[in-house]
Structure 1
């Protein structure tokens, strides 16, 4: 990808994390975080990354908890203990954007759209009992 596109995608994800962490999130920003997590997952499945599956599941669970809080109390905030998980996954995705061929990114985006159009609850398999494998 060209450097401007890489910077724009990275900045969008990092700003979404900052807003959600600081209690200024909304549905769009949480969706942006999960979009980034799922793209990172799909690219990792193609051989670009080695983050434990449990980290991806932890991100999903953190967003689910935030959405429950938003529904119950109209507070759009990501739990502080989830921030390191997202920082790690955003760093992975930044590295992927800088190194992965464009056709792999397009393929991951297509897989994301297929997932979103389907009925599965997650593209990420359940983690092993230790939570991070």
Structure 2
């Protein structure tokens, strides 16, 4: 009896995942990534932001989005889009007036997305986090303006 499953196509062998890849990140790495994101938010909220810190905020938002797509989270799409628009507005202000500050009304959105990201880092297996980082690199190398789809008009109400 053959151990091959029926089918005409040849399948590639699955990549073996180590125990470490199947478990969540080690706590020290979770704390380090979380702290980096939260400090970026505080600096941008308080008017001490810069291009690097705003990039860190968007990196966090996009990684949270990719992990949510993999089943780790249930935040509304509009929250991710609001975060994108808030950073775009902040970058326009920085370009026009050299003020690197996040709008006050956007802070709660970022706080909720950072809380989501913290939960994802604490629970998602390492291979899912690495996959999300790979997807972020692919997005950055491409031409799309956002990995987050436009919010459904019904979700905006």
Relative to the length of structure 1, the TM-score reads 0.98
- Matched ranges for 1:65-104 at <5 A: 65-104=89-128
> Are 1:41 and 1:124, in contact at CA under 8 Å, matched by a contact in 2?
yes
Q: Which of 1 and 2 has greater Rg? A: 2
What number of residue pairs does the alignment pair up?
133
Structure 1: distance between partners of 2:72 and 2:156: 18
- Matched ranges for 1:1-40 at <5 A: 1-40=25-64
> Are 1:55 and 1:132, in contact at CA under 8 Å, matched by a contact in 2?
no
Relative to the length of structure 2, the TM-score reads 0.83
The list of structure 1 runs, each at least 4 consecutive aligned residues, that deviate by more than 3 angstroms after superposition, is 130-133
Structure 1: runs of 5+ lacking an equivalent: none
- Which structure carries more helix by proportion? 1
Distance change in 2, residues 1:132/1:6 (3 Å): farther
> Are 1:59 and 1:85, in contact at CA under 8 Å, matched by a contact in 2?
yes
